[in-house]
A and B are shown apart, each in its own frame.
Chain A
Amino acid sequence: MVESLLAQAEMNGSVNVAMNIAFGIIATVMIFAAFSVVTTKNVVHAALYLVVVLAGVAAQYILAAAEFVAVSQVMVYIGAVMVLFLFGIMLTRAQIGKEEGLNNSGWQLGIPVALLLFGLMAYVIVDTYEDTVIGERTPFATEGISDQVLAPFLVPFLAISFVLLAAAIGAIVLARKD
């Protein structure tokens, strides 16, 4: 694998070998963890595997020169969303340990649908971006994001603020014991 990457690097000068290796390792871990999320028989394990996937996504963001998004990913997903999930698991009294019947009766239906979708997307992606090479790039300045958020995308930003407020109120109303 390393040789093939090196060969690739020779062919195309702009390919960064270290980056490719890092990407490959992280991607492998992510795919394994994601697969475990949907196959494991233990709900808590699934949540922990999900942490691995989310952390992997954050690492990929750093590779893709989006360090602010990466930091947000870590803080929001791993920090907040995962805690919510763990609380959700706890409050719904799922077994801590192996559990039977985590899958539907017709769960096999998911396999052809997922494979069909993947085949389709892989074909389209490879067909379109086969030769596109991303050159080395210095990370974007975070300042740029603030410029984008506060000028051209201000209205969606405000809209999202309202959505979050509504979601917070809605969650409280729904979860309250009456």
Chain B
Amino acid sequence: MLAVNFLLLAAVLFCIGVFGVIARRNAVMVLMSIELILNAVNLNLVAFALMNNNQEGQVFALYVIAIAAAEVGVGLAMVLMIYRNRKSIALDELSEMKG
């Protein structure tokens, strides 16, 4: 099996995730796209672990999964709060950061 396979698949997933983050208007969908990006990175880590015959990559993948779980929890809580305050989770209506 060629190493390129895993890495290219991860690159595709990553770019789709990036597109989703940029294009989507719904905050929950943006969070889903971020999950795609994280999974792409994880896939890379596991593939490198396989290539180098070294389990450290897998350990990092596990850590990333743990962080991703925390990120989704906090992210969705924030989305809920935004929804409660504004009755909308459309990101383009949130422009308090406009300079």
Interface residues of chain A, those whose CB is within 8 Å of chain B, are 15-16, 19-20, 23, 27, 30-31, 34-35, 37-38, 43, 46-47, 50, 53-54, 57, 60-61, 63-66, 68-69, 72-73, 76-77, 80-81, 84-85, 87-89, 91-94, 101-105, 107, 109-111, 113-115, 117-118, 121-122, 125-126, 129-130, 132-134, 137, 140, 144-145, 148-149, 153, 156-157, 160, 163-164, 166-168, 170-172, 174-175, 177
Contacts and interface: CB of A to CB of B under 8 A. Distances in A.
A129 B3 contact: yes
8 contacts: A34-B13, A47-B32, A60-B6, A84-B73, A103-B24, A110-B18, A110-B23, A145-B58
Interface of B: 1-9, 11-29, 31-33, 35-36, 39, 42-43, 46-47, 49-51, 53, 55-56, 58-59, 61-63, 65-74, 76-81, 83-84, 89-92
A19 B22 CA distance: 34
